[in-house]
Amino acid sequence: MPTKSALFFDLDGTLTDPKPGITGSIQYALKKLDRPVPTQDELTWCIGPPLRASFARLLGGEELADRGVEFYRERFGDVGLFENSVYPEIADVLAALSTTPRRIFVATSKPHVFAKRIVAHFGLDGYFEHVFGSELDGTRVHKDELLAYALEVTGVDPAQALMIGDRSHDVVGAKKNGIDAIGVTYGYGSPTELLDAGASHLCASPRAVLDHIHSAFG
């Protein structure tokens, strides 16, 4: 039976549901830019992918994308990051996994200065050896670059690693680094999106993630 000695968890849409904070902060930025403001439900596609790319799409080009990110962070850094909730069962799943010899990490496109605060706010920081995220200037915002950096820092063998995430870029980034990936369908990516990206398995709940890791990897 293959083993997976290192687990990399995405944050948004995998560990926590960040919809109110992310979409509310995007609405705030668009309003500051005097642009049409979609509903929060219409903005859920922005949860997961790199933020600047989402603003470029929302604003019809690159010209105002950086300004959009600046306005977003005005609200997100003080208010939006805590407009968030941990998915049911996540704490129990992490507690169970922490009793095994596996190393457990967070790997998120969100800037690590925000990601670490969120993980600590919800009392999850004790389960993770390290929280990997991007820099505020956009360095390592793409999941393949982030995971390559994480592998280098930790010395983890990619063949012994597993990425758990809810969007296609989690899966694609993992595969580019030789890491197996499973998709979670309780987040913001569809089963089709995840399977087309190359996810080896889909899990409909956090508990299913734990069950799959135990059954498939011992």
Active site residues: 10
| Residue count of the chain | 218
Residue 194 near residue 188 (C-beta atoms within 8 A) = no
Which residues on neighbouring strands pair with residue 161, listed in sequence order?
Answer: 6
CA-atom Rg of the chain in angstroms:
17
| Pairing verdict, β 161-165 and 130-134 | unpaired
Q: What are the backbone angles phi and psi of residue 86, rounded to the nearest 5°?
A: -75, 135
Which residues on neighbouring strands pair with residue 85, listed in sequence order?
Answer: 17
